[in-house]
Amino acid sequence: MSSADIGLIGLAVMGSNLALNIAENGYTIAVHNRTASRIDDFVGMATEQGLNDKVVPEADLATFISKIKRPRSVIIMVKAGKPVDDMIEQLLPLLEEGDAILECGNSLYSDSQRRFEYLKEKGIGFLGIGVSGGEEGARHGPSIMVGGPEEQWKNAQPILEAISAKFDGEPCCAYLGEGGAGHFVKTIHNGIEYGDMQMIAEVYGIMRDGLHMAPGEAAEVFREWNKGPLNSYLIEITGHVLDAVEPKTGTPLVELILDKAGQKGTGIWSAIAAQQLGVPATAIEGAVAARSISSRKDERVAAEAVYGKPAGLGGAHVDLGDLEQALLAGKIVSYAQGFVVMAKASEEFGWNLPLATIAKIWRAGCIIRSRFLDQMSAAYAQGENTNLLMVPDFVEIMKTANGSLRKIVAVAATAELPMICLSASLAYFDSYRQALGTTNLTQGQRDFFGAHGFILTDREGEQHHDWPSTLEH
């Protein structure tokens, strides 16, 4: 009766595509969905693609489980949150010791940690798996970030590696640590994705509002940049988005799209995680803030009526080469921050996250895939530095590119064009490389009002000052 290599529950967009990918790779997959009509639709899709002989459809949950070979690997791809917990409760009486639930939705890493611990007590493995690449990735090769018990990862490893994206033949799939490690890394991936997208949008702002370039001209620049160090999926699709024309009006599509960005939460989760871990991630935070401010369209319209339109460049020169280098520098800072967040989380939660491997499995399949990540994984593989800003290859780039970032942020500030993310990256860089900061003053203030103490540079131990009891006016 047990004929399937793996099972999958949840045949909406992501689950269907992942199941077809598994079938195409030669594995027999049992499929189930709460609403049975979705199973029939899926079988129709699999038949159209000549994959139905690899599919074992089953509407009854207990029978579905009985059709999977032991030790079982059961993927759940249902809506994140409570549906995942509900599904786990339904599966628990049906699974046996050594079986595993592979949860592949966009779950909060702390939920995955909790589920991992809960199921461990019951002898069931819980793998929290971050899957990046959207619908297309799920079908043809996503980047797969796995967290959970190593034993059950090994059971599922051949299938997960087979269905993942490949970079130079290497699978973009890796085991990253216990508990919530996989979903944590996926969350930071999404935070970095937010940063990349926001910095691209800020550079587009200079092109549109400073240089008055038409979308098609800007698209040409992005196409050129895609041949250089910025080569990446996001730069490539930026060219396509800027080139698209709205068919009814013949207007560039981008000019008709409302400037209010949506967000589903993973960017916010990564900013919160960074704050909770005490790691600055100003680029990610800036990107989240930019989306939030974008959603307040009415307020922005009202504020522009009060303060007037941006001044514009007013004849100031902007070199496209500087714009490219500024984007590269901002991106390096943003990735540096994201990787420090992961290094800190690794230490805090005892995950031993492999930074070079993470950069490797992001080289293909996921939204932030880029040439840059190949360089980054090589750099991390060589050294111990967790901050990319101190990794030799990137030090070389930043030594020149930070000048361009500085020029662009300065010119944008004078032109009154917003750069939440790029300016945050520059401020982080300048703070990070400044040996003598200014929080000596902050420490003095803290001691004044709260007796928090300070260290004096010429002696040992915490000190206090005898401050006046009231301020004189």
Whole-Å CA distances, 403 to 2, 265, 326, 397, 429: 63, 33, 8, 11, 11
Q: Where are the extended beta strands (E) located within 99-150? A: 100-103, 125-132, 143-147
> Looking at residue 72, what DSSP letter applies?
P
Q: With binding defined as CB under 6 A, does residue 34 bind ligand NBP?
A: yes
Residue closer to ligand NBP (CB basis): 8 or 422: 8
* Angstrom distance (rounded) from CA 6 to CA 4: 5
Q: With binding defined as CB under 6 A, does residue 364 bind ligand NBP?
A: no
**Interface positions, 122-181, toward ligand NBP (CB under 6 A):** 131-134
Inter-helix orientation angle 420-432/392-415, to 10°: 130
Q: With binding defined as CB under 6 A, does residue 182 bind ligand NBP?
A: no
Q: With binding defined as CB under 6 A, does residue 369 bind ligand NBP?
A: no
Q: With binding defined as CB under 6 A, does residue 15 bind ligand NBP?
A: yes
Residue closer to ligand NBP (CB basis): 14 or 405: 14
Let me know if 67 is a catalytic residue.
no
Single out the catalytic residue among 58, 103, 178, 193.
193
Exposed e or buried b per residue across 328-365, where buried means at least 16 C-beta atoms within 10 angstroms of its C-beta: bbbbbbbbbbbbbbbbbbbeebebebbbebbbbbbbbb
Q: Which of 32, 38, 363, 369 binds ligand NBP (CB under 6 A)?
A: 38
Whole-Å CA distances, 125 to 78, 185, 243: 18, 19, 47
Specify the stretch interacting with ligand NBP by CB under 6 A; choose among 48-56, 83-91, 285-293, 349-357: 83-91
The number of angstroms, rounded, from the C-alpha of 407 to the middle of its chain's C-alpha atoms is 28
Residue closer to ligand NBP (CB basis): 129 or 336: 129
- In whole angstroms, how close is the CB of 82 to ligand NBP at the nearest point? 7
Q: With binding defined as CB under 6 A, does residue 413 bind ligand NBP?
A: no
* Angstrom distance (rounded) from CA 368 to CA 348: 26
Single out the catalytic residue among 54, 67, 178, 186.
186
Q: With binding defined as CB under 6 A, does residue 361 bind ligand NBP?
A: no
The count of chain residues that interact with ligand NBP, using the rule CB under 6 A, is: 23
Centre a 10 Å sphere on the Cβ of residue 118 and count the other Cβ atoms it contains.
Answer: 14
Q: With binding defined as CB under 6 A, does residue 10 bind ligand NBP?
A: yes
Let me know if 186 is a catalytic residue.
yes
* Angstrom distance (rounded) from CA 251 to CA 246: 5
In the complex, the residues that contact ligand NBP under the rule CB under 6 A are 10-15, 33-35, 38, 77-80, 83, 86-87, 105-106, 131-134
